[in-house]
Structure 1
Amino acid sequence: MTGSTGSTPSPSRRNRRRTVGAVAVLAAAAVTASFALTLDGSDTGGKKAGEPAAVTGSADPAPAPADPGLLALARRDASDPLAVGRADAPVVLIEYSDFQCPFCGRFARETKPELLRSYVDKGVLRIEWRNFPIFGEESERAALAGWAAGRQKKFWEFHDVAYGKPRERNSGAFDAENVIAMAREAGVADIERFQADMASEQARNAVLQDQEEGYNLGVTSTPAFLVNGKPILGAQPTDTFEEAVESAAKTAKAAKEAGR
């Protein structure tokens, strides 16, 4: 799932079992990804950086449902601190991200706030985070820190602090001292518990579970998304996500009315 537009590839290859059907769907998403803007605007097809990219399939009045296996990846756990939105929302966006990924930061700062206002707050969309650290020790530490912040119901506050500004990768921005400072800024009350949670086997297993889920899908770059099981690659323009959510909501409504 390596994207040349708006996504950051993993620096290493891993020989892992793939879910064949999912890989086929994700590979097809590369066609859509080719319309996305790059972070520096180098592949914009003559457009200026910041202009919306073309989106295929937006005129389809009755989009086909996604693969059931991909739909089933939505956990819909009402107690999940790494999710926001109603557990029974008609649309679920699953996000595979790394706190050191600049494209993930771009999505967090530019697109996610719009999705929260327009869809999550209205009960249409649920966003479920998956830790997908790919850039080494600092990425792994940041993932563990985010999970630990979630244990005190401060994951999204930590998320906003971590992505609040661009940070140079593997520069010490996510060293042990700095993630504690981020946790304090995010409002994590019990720092001793935060540190213990970060170091726990439960934290490592939770991050590993997310990673394995992504690798089994064929994810090799960040950010990567599934919107009701349909893939979007990279930090594409907000319009792309809005159209995907609205299309998924339309499909979900039609399925509900048909009694499926």
Structure 2
Amino acid sequence: MRLPRRTLLAASALAATAPTAWAQGTDPRLAERGIGRPDAPVKVVEFFSLTCSHCAAFHRDTFPRVKKDLVETGAVRLIWRDFPLDQVALTAAAVARTLPADRYEGFISALLGSQDRWAFTRGDPFAELAKMAALAGMPKPQFDQVQADEALKRAILAERSIAEKEFSVQATPSFSFQGRRTVNQSGAMGFEKFAQLVQDVKPA
């Protein structure tokens, strides 16, 4: 899903005041989130938004086989990088990062698999997100604290700004396949194309 220019400009302005905790790794909530062996020969970074329907389609249609055939076999480490498209996605990303790290994958999977029930509800998406967070073990008072945590949100937006500059990310999902060389690719894709790009960058 491509970002509106207005959204990009607003995010850049907020990110300019981001704390240095992200870059220094001092806040555990900002630590890398991923699955697969740290020493896998290929690393794939996925830039995604929790309110992006294309990201949800990839997670539904392609991710299960990527996990089974490439991650669990040790061929790939998949790393998730937040690239929120809107305030709802930004809050969802903050909540996901505040949960214990071992609940991260399950929580984002639940969110991506139920966007119509929380992100695109006719009611209050933040209220629905709070319900999803409660199911993952985050009580409402903690959710309210995360929703009000502007420092964390600025740090997430700073990471998005880095992705725009270093990887030319302008749409979600986008992927960076990193091995003997780096190939950047935008858009949800089927397993065959994903696997071919992994093969293309795999060290000899």
**Which range, TM-score by smaller chain?**
0.7 to 0.9
Distance, in Å, in 2 between the alignment partners of 1:170 and 1:108 is 17
Segments of 5+ residues of structure 1 without an aligned counterpart are 1-7, 17-74, 255-260
1:200-256 superposed Cα distances (whole Å, 9 cap, x missing partner) = 34522431232112221322111111011311210122110011112322xx2x2xx
1:130-184 superposed Cα distances (whole Å, 9 cap, x missing partner) = 11112x22222222222222x4531111111111135286545772221121123
- TM-score normalised by the chain length of structure 1: 0.61
Q: Give runs of aligned pairs for residues 1-260 of structure 1, distance below 5 A.
A: 8-13=1-6, 14=8, 80=31, 82-134=33-85, 136-149=86-99, 151=100, 153-167=102-116, 171=121, 175-185=125-135, 187-188=136-137, 192-216=141-165, 217-228=167-178, 229-249=182-202, 252=203, 254=204
In the alignment, is the contact (CA less than 8 A) between 2:91 and 2:153 conserved in 1?
no
Further displaced range: 202-211 or 96-105 = 202-211
**Structure 1 residues 166, 199: CA separation in 2 closer, same or farther (over 3 Å shift)?**
closer
**Structure 1 residues 91, 152: CA separation in 2 closer, same or farther (over 3 Å shift)?**
closer
**Structure 1 residues 93, 123: CA separation in 2 closer, same or farther (over 3 Å shift)?**
same
Tell me the amino acid that sits aligned with residue 231 of structure 1.
N
Distance, in Å, in 2 between the alignment partners of 1:195 and 1:108 is 28
Aligned length: 181
Distance, in Å, in 2 between the alignment partners of 1:237 and 1:243 is 10
Using the TM superposition, give the Cα deviation of residue 191 of structure 1 relative to its aligned residue in structure 2, in angstroms.
Answer: 5.2
Using the TM superposition, give the Cα deviation of residue 197 of structure 1 relative to its aligned residue in structure 2, in angstroms.
Answer: 3.9
Distance, in Å, in 1 between the alignment partners of 2:69 and 2:124 is 32
Distance, in Å, in 2 between the alignment partners of 1:11 and 1:123 is 37
Which structure dedicates a bigger proportion of its chain to helix?
2
1:81-101 superposed Cα distances (whole Å, 9 cap, x missing partner) = 621112211111111111111
Distance, in Å, in 2 between the alignment partners of 1:198 and 1:153 is 21
**Structure 1 residues 196, 119: CA separation in 2 closer, same or farther (over 3 Å shift)?**
same
**Structure 1 residues 126, 194: CA separation in 2 closer, same or farther (over 3 Å shift)?**
farther
Distance, in Å, in 2 between the alignment partners of 1:197 and 1:137 is 13
CA-based RMSD? 2.8
In the alignment, is the contact (CA less than 8 A) between 1:103 and 1:223 conserved in 2?
yes
Further displaced range: 188-197 or 222-231 = 188-197
**Structure 1 residues 205, 166: CA separation in 2 closer, same or farther (over 3 Å shift)?**
closer
Distance, in Å, in 2 between the alignment partners of 1:81 and 1:105 is 21
Distance, in Å, in 1 between the alignment partners of 2:173 and 2:93 is 14
